[in-house]
Structure 1
Amino acid sequence: MIKADRKTGLVFFPAFDWAIDPTHPEREERLLYTQDQVFEEGLFDIEGITEFKPDLVTHEDIRRVHFCTPDIESVTTESHLISAGGAVTVAKAVMEGAVEKGFALVRPPGHHAMRVVHGNRGFCNINIEAIMIEYIRAKYGVRRVAVVDTDCHHGDGTQDIFWHDPDTLFISIHQDGRTLYPGSGFIEELGGPNALGTTVNIPLPPLTSDEGYLWTIENVVMPILEDFQPEIIVNSAGQDNHFSDPLTNMNFSARGYADLTDMLSPDIAVLEGGYSIEGALPYVNTGIILALAGLDYTGIKEPGFDVARLVQPQDVTRQVRQIGQAVLSTWRQREALQAKLVGNHKTVSRRRNIMYDTDMIYEMQIDEITVCNSCKGALKVDSSSDTGHHLFGVHIPKGVCPACRARAEQWFEESKNGPYTLRTMQDLDRQSFFDEPREA
């Protein structure tokens, strides 16, 4: 009888009733082939690998993270609640000691969903990792969390949600945004004024292979994690870096994914993208499961794997090393950069235009954060879209200081007579949430 070195919990949720359309790359078959492979390989016969059934998240769980307009029901389905619930289920199993590692193989994905949600962008409606993280913070008192996003697309939604949170280290390793959706994730994107430096972007050139990815994990990601000392490491385990993926231009292999997982050793992994449904996902996911469980994965080999064809070009190797050194240099200078860039500002604001490429919605957003030495700062968001919805939201973080709470409450009071279709407040310090919908 084979026994896992580390007890590992899995959740499968293919979401049979949710698809953008029947032929879209983001459809239920993404997980069905993996599920078949796991059973065929006999992984559930291994002592220490356990399948859990997903729970549903509540609307309160979503309100900890998102401002949804016009309301949560309008931008989610039951599948979204179960997908996020699957991530919460494996996190609970890890936190309560039932397993040492957890992997949520769920869809719909979530890492392009930002704090404000008007609809679907990048195949994502709600951010399942962020909902999971704020759940375990509220229930188990976890503070410092690291998210390492290895999806080929920049995790711009997760970045947005934790942009102002110095207790969340967000690292995204992705194909250069100049060559791939969503066109963001550059080294200069460092986080908000109270959290500058805890957003770390590593944009890799097309044709990066196992060599470049694993060098980046070992020489860039691991030293940063060692400095940050998180209590929990979460891997947004997107698999569209694979050489056979139809949407991207990278040369990562299934064995490379397993090596990455072994090196990173995340507490919790959550599936994100990956659209080579037959040629990659069953093999990549099997490798990840074996690596999490501490089992031999050296026999993992997908169809079409050819070492000679996947050799990393020398110019790509040179670029990867240059990017890695630049990222490390920025990380080491983060405190000096914060002092230089933030200065004596009392608040800092951003104005952004955001496109929801799936639902074809255009959003204009202005946010403002208090600059504070005592807490994470209070945040207000003014967001309108071409659907006619106009949201005003206030976010109060856990551990808020009296001055920032007073500013947040003042902002919310002043918004009473504004032209908003929804006024909403997230108070994570008191775990209370308020929504006031109005007629458009």
Structure 2
Amino acid sequence: MEHKTGLVFFPAFDWAISPTHPEREERLLYTRDQLFEEGIMDLPQIAEYKPRLATHKDIARAHFCVPDVETQVTEAHLFAVGGALVLADALMNKEINNGFALVRPPGHHAMRVAHGNRGFCNINNEAIMIEYLRQKYGLTKIAIVDTDVHHGDGTQDMFYHDPDVLFISFHQDGRTLYPGSGFCDELGGPNAFGMNINIPLQPNTTDDGIHYVLDNLVLPILEDFKPDLVVNSAGQDNHYTDPLANMRFTAHGYASLNEKLDPDLAVLEGGYAIETALPYVNTGIILAMAGLDYSWVREPDYRPENFRETKEHMEYIQSLVSYLWEVWKNRAELGEEKYPRDGDFLELSRHIYYDTDSIREQQYEDIRLCDDCPGYQVIRSRGMYPYGSSKLIEAIGLHPRACKSCQEDARKLYEEKKKDYPGVDVIYLQDKPRDRYFQYSKDGDVELTDE
């Protein structure tokens, strides 16, 4: 097969947080104009696909939407996810060698429980695509590399207890940028310790610093993990002109990164320098994924002397890479120290803020510690909304490889919780081994299907 890179464009003309918000349709329109102007869409190495609507069942594989999927998504969200699923099918059917879904709204800040919009995200495009790939094609080991300048806290949350999904995020240090997370000690839960790698970088890190991280940490970890599939959560706001961050990455740096990373699928995330970055960055990435020359891709104001890494930055990066490589190599032993087995469950709790919708969530999570499988999680979450209203949900999520005993326990627990329904707005069962998804509320027991 001649090399083919599949592309999906979905600018979502009918979805915006506000008319002047940084996350708006022009993010993709300038890129599309650039690609047509350069004749890239006419190249034989490029195949354009049209998005389709994802189903509510697709969303339920990844999310507990409060109070239901209809409340949290618009048609634009379903088309954005559907664009990623179209490329996933094309890849698995060997129509393309790799694919890039240039879609919006973005998704990597959307967590497993979704009370509303946070970080411009309602639902998580990559996570939904990954669950789709696991269910439909039986993939077992998947790696996600998040190159957005903001920590991919939603994607981290999705797979924090999943030993089959490796999540690596490099980003501007959370002490200096939203969402204020993504530190080195966020390494995964008791069933998946070490499968979550965060690389917080100092503001003004350049191509040299980011490529040092890629060459000396990200690529060696991927080589050791040997995933069936590599997904790039392709945020482009590390660019030196982005208005929402403070990094110094260039279009050529992004293209070179994608040539080295060689992702099977990439899904667009952030990037808000609509004219000065996105057309150049996306063009470079697409050329690199298609195996074409990207050496001529340069921003008009690019000057090499403005992008030299400082000695202090490189020393910090080298120390960080060395530390995280040791963590990766010794993750089994470190996980036992962090989470000594004491009982059948581990309880975790946290507070989550939805910056776009001003929702505050208090969440408690019981992690089943099983010796035979990745187990299941039981989540109790209360979302406190503006003007004093709130919703309380309980959710049970089974891992695709849950053993028979854990499956039986989780399904029994769902039935028991339905009997003790008063006070809870919605109860969910995410039964991934059977690919069946239920929610119980005042409307009764509803199964989400593809219809």
Taking structure 2 as the reference length, what is the TM-score of the superposition?
A: 0.95
Counterpart check, 1:129 vs 2:133: no
**Letter aligned with residue 398 of structure 1:** P
- For 2:93 and 2:353, locate their aligned partners in 1 and report how far apart those are by CA, in whole Å: 39
- Aligned residue for 2:289, secondary structure, equals helix
Paired position in structure 1 for 2:380 = 382
CA deviation profile, 1:238-270 (whole Å, cap 9, x unmatched): 000000000001000000000000010000011
Q: Deviations over 1:286-320 (max 9, x none)?
A: 00000000000001101321211221121111111
The within-5 A match list for 1:156-171 is: 156-171=153-168
Query: Which consecutive residues of structure 2, in runs of 5 or more, have no partner in the other structure?
Result: 444-451
For 1:372 and 1:288, the matched residues in 2 are separated by 42
1:366 pairs with 2:370: no
Deviations 1:170-218 (A, max 9, x none): 0001111111100111111011111111011111111110001111111
RMSD: 1.2
Distance 2:432 2:301 in 1: 49
Q: Which region of structure 1 is more displaced relative to structure 2, 304-313 or 77-86? A: 304-313
CA distance in 1, matches of 2:210, 2:366: 36
* Secondary structure in structure 2 of the residue aligned to 1:308: helix
Deviation at 1:5, TM superposition (A): 6.8
Q: Work out the CA distance in 2 between the residues paired with 1:183 and 1:415.
A: 35
CA distance in 2, matches of 1:13, 1:244: 24
User: 3-state DSSP class of the match of 2:3?
Assistant: strand
Equivalent position amino acid for 1:277 in 2: I
> CA separation in 2, counterparts of 1:172 and 1:154?
6
Residues 28-107 of structure 1 mapped to structure 2, 5 A cutoff? 28-107=25-104
**1:408 lines up with 2:405 in the alignment:** no
1:178 counterpart SS class: coil
Deviates most, 49-58 or 332-341: 332-341
How far apart in 1 are the matches of 2:442 and 2:242?
Answer: 44
Structure 1 vs Structure 2: percent identity of aligned residues? 54
> In 2, Cα distance between the equivalents of 1:406 and 1:56?
33
1:8 CA displacement: 0.4
Matched, 1:354 2:352: yes
Q: Which residue of 1 aligns with 2:438?
A: 434
1:99-140 alpha-carbon deviations (Å, 9 max, x no partner): 001000000000000000000000000000010111111111
1:193-204 correspondence to structure 2 within 5 Å = 193-204=190-201
Q: Deviations over 1:21-69 (max 9, x none)?
A: 0000000000000000010010111112010000111000000000000
Q: Match for 1:436: what amino acid?
A: Y
Residues 119-169 of structure 1: per-residue CA shift (max 9 Å, x gap)? 000000000001011111111111100000000000000000001110000
Matched AA of 1:189? E
- Give the letter aligned to residue 330 of structure 2: Q
- The corresponding residue for 2:116 is 119
1:233 aligned onto 2:230: yes
Question: Which amino acid in the other structure matches residue 12 of structure 2?
Answer: A
Kept after mapping to 2: 8 A contact 1:11/1:103: yes
How big is the shift at 1:399? 2.1
- Assess, with a 3 A threshold, how the Cα gap between structure 1 residues 218 and 5 changes in structure 2: closer, same or farther: farther
Alignment length (residue pairs)? 436
Q: Distance in 2 between matches of 1:368 and 1:411?
A: 13
Separation of aligned partners in 1, 2:173 and 2:2: 36
Over residues 334-390 of structure 1, what are the superposed CA-to-partner deviations in whole Å (9 max), with x where a residue is unaligned? 010112122223211211110000011001100111112211111111011113111
Does the alignment pair 1:313 with 2:317?
no
Residue from 391, 394, 397 that aligns with 1:395: 397
Corresponding position of 1:143: 140
SS in 2 for 1:257: helix
Query: What CA distance in whole angstroms lies between the structure 2 residues aligned with 1:157 and 1:184?
Result: 11
TM-score when scaled to structure 1?
Answer: 0.97
User: Which residue identity is paired with 2:357?
Assistant: D
For 1:85 and 1:277, the matched residues in 2 are separated by 24
Q: Distance in 1 between matches of 2:398 and 2:39?
A: 47
Residue 407 of structure 1 and its aligned partner are, at CA, apart by 2.9
**Counterpart contact for 1:6–1:292, Cα < 8 Å:** no
For 2:290, the equivalent position in structure 1 comes to 293
Counterpart of 1:421 in structure 2: which amino acid?
D
**8 Å contact from structure 1 (residues 90, 104) kept in 2:** yes
For the pair 1:183 / 2:180, whether they are aligned, the reply is: yes
User: More deviation in 255-264 or 342-351?
Assistant: 342-351
Farther-moved stretch of structure 1 (14-23 vs 307-316)? 307-316
Determine the structure 2 residue equivalent to 1:423. 427
Conserved 8 A contact 1:5-1:295: no
Instruction: Name which of structure 1's ranges 19-28 and 418-427 shifts more when overlaid on structure 2.
Output: 418-427
Matched residues in 2 for 1:423 and 1:75: separation? 16
Aligned-partner Cα distance in 2 for 1:411–1:104: 38
Looking at structure 2, the residues matched to 302 and 414 of structure 1 have their Cα atoms a distance apart, in angstroms, of: 60
C-alpha distance in 1 between matches for 2:430 and 2:395:
8
- Find 1:261's aligned residue among 238, 258, 262: 258
Give 5+ residue unaligned stretches, structure 1: none
Provide the secondary structure at the position in 1 that maps to 2:116.
Answer: coil
CA distance in 1: counterparts of 2:113 and 2:9, whole angstroms: 27
